[in-house]
Amino acid sequence: MALEPTPITPTRRQQLAPGEMTILEHLQELRGRVMWMAIAVALGMGVFFVPTIGFGAVDLLIEPARVAHPGFKPQYIEPMENIVTYFQVALLGGVAAGMPMIVFQTLRFVAPALTSSEKRWVYPIALGAAGAFIGGMAFGYFFILPPSLGFLLDFGSSIAEPNIRIGNYVNFVTRMLGIMGLVFETPLIVMGMAMIGVVNWRKLLGWWRFAIVLAFVISAIATPTIDPITQSLVAGPIVALYFVGIALAWLVRRN
């Protein structure tokens, strides 16, 4: 009796529709995207490893404390503390410089899941995210750090003189700047959530009261002062960013 041929089972690749990828191929693409992000951050860090630029950046971070407390000079008590701080500032600068590439590669990774009308937003969002992050850091530097440091350095100064380690100071400043950079991404985050259908502009508009309360909560955390004017200066832009996000959500999905 003749043996029947064994049926050939199609591979996962053969089962996929044109343009689709296997999980392994997705992981390989993700690895490539992450490598490009890392290269962008490394190149940005390389710029800050130039002593003039690197030490200039550290001095720039200390300047708001000098404005709030003339004569302020941080100290270091460990041999490696200055070097670690220098690397930390270089990393922050590298992330800020590489932000366009980070956002671009992230959007390129998710682009296959987007419609043709949504893909046209990839480049504008990448540029907008980079600009928003840098703008948030600038806002934090000029409008949040001076009053915050003024309050913290003067509080109880008649009892104890502030002698702050440079590592602790830079940690505080970079954390504040990083938080404000992320806060300024709010409109684009809202826009992205609207694009994938998680929220819509009508629902967001109905939450405006909660957004105002949350903005003042964030302001109270970011600016440890009891001055209502300073807190309003911080909360106001956050509320404005929320409404910008609503406008962008309406722009990409008007239903």
Question: Are residues 79 and 64 both part of a single domain?
Answer: yes
Segment 112-138 mean pLDDT:
79
Question: Are residues 152 and 205 both part of a single domain?
Answer: no
Question: Are residues 120 and 216 both part of a single domain?
Answer: no
Counting residues of the chain whose pLDDT is more than 90, the rounded percentage is 19
Which of 134, 151, 181 marks a domain boundary?
181
Of 110 and 7, the structure prediction assigns the larger pLDDT to: 110
Task: State the burial class of residue 74 (Cβ atoms within 10 Å of its Cβ: 0-12, 13-18, 19+).
Answer: buried
Contact 162, 153 (CB under 8 A): yes
In a domain, 158, yes or no: yes
* CA–CA separation, 165 and 160 (whole Å): 15
Mean pLDDT of the chain: 82
Question: Are residues 66 and 140 both part of a single domain?
Answer: yes
Which of 10-14, 73-77, 235-239 bottoms out in mean pLDDT, i.e. has the lowest? 10-14
Tell me, what's the pLDDT at 107? 78
- The pLDDT tens digits of the residues spanning 14-72 come to 555 555 667 787 788 889 999 999 999 999 999 999 989 999 999 999 999 998 888 88
pLDDT reading at 255 higher than 70: no
